[in-house]
Chains A and B, each alone.
Chain A
């Protein structure tokens, strides 16, 4: 797969990516995942429960962010452990008429630890939207064959 564990050093970046999303993406994720909580598609409902507006599923953000790791390692099955805390919601504006993104998520990954005995590396993801960290302790452990 082109990545040798001996070449990895803690702090080394694995890359960066940008995920643009719209309200339609949230509807798609709701359908694909089965999570139809209206806070992810109905503004009145979201505001009624005290949110500033429609927010992305935390699991959408978690799922989209790990793509950086999958592409870097070359096989989604290499991700053997993936965790995060959801700290801030990703507010998604209704841009249906404009066709522009309703939110933009920035993802950066860096090597957080290397375990030569188990042939694994931990990638620490920094995930932000509107200048705020939306995931905290977002860590993916990959097995390197």
Chain B
């Protein structure tokens, strides 16, 4: 399997909407050991001016990795998932994600660089609500190790 060099510049349209649930925010917050009350208690979140429970700062990875899965599972991309290593990650929050949001992510393959027998792929998920409000930009670099590495 080898990485398709034509991937750079490719985009994948948004898939089905992801509905952010209160229990998912609570579950994710517990999983990253986040204890801030605004992840768990609606009143605490509203006292800070939020509509509903606030997602932890890395929650958007759920939506971003669903978008990345489109690329990774695309047979034309030539990516062997068992050889993928997460190299770096960035979230820019245009506004916080809160419970009740209906999110969609458009995926862009920004760069593909050959590295040894593998490649470094940088993807960008533009995450917005179904109403078109921008919520977050998630950028991930994925190192796909070559066969000999």
- Spell out A's residues near B (CB within 8 Å): 19, 21, 25, 28-29, 31-35, 37, 49, 58-60, 62-64, 66-67, 69-71, 74-77, 79-86, 140
Contact = CB atoms under 8 A, between A and B. Distances in A.
Given A34-B65, A66-B56, A77 B50 contact: yes
A82 B38 CA distance: 19
Interface stretch (B26-34, B99-107, B121-129): B26-34
A67 B32 contact: yes
What range describes how many residues of B lie at the interface?
35 or more
Contact of B38 (A58, A67, A76): A76
B36 A76 contact: yes
B88 A33 contact: no
Contact of B32 (A34, A60, A74): A60
B57 A82 contact: yes
A28 B31 contact: yes
Given A28-B30, A76-B36, A77-B54, A83 B90 contact: yes
Given A32-B28, A62-B89, A84-B88, A75 B38 contact: yes
Q: Which 6 A-B pairs have the closest CB atoms?
A: A63-B32, A77-B96, A83-B90, A32-B31, A63-B58, A85-B88
Contacts of B55: 76
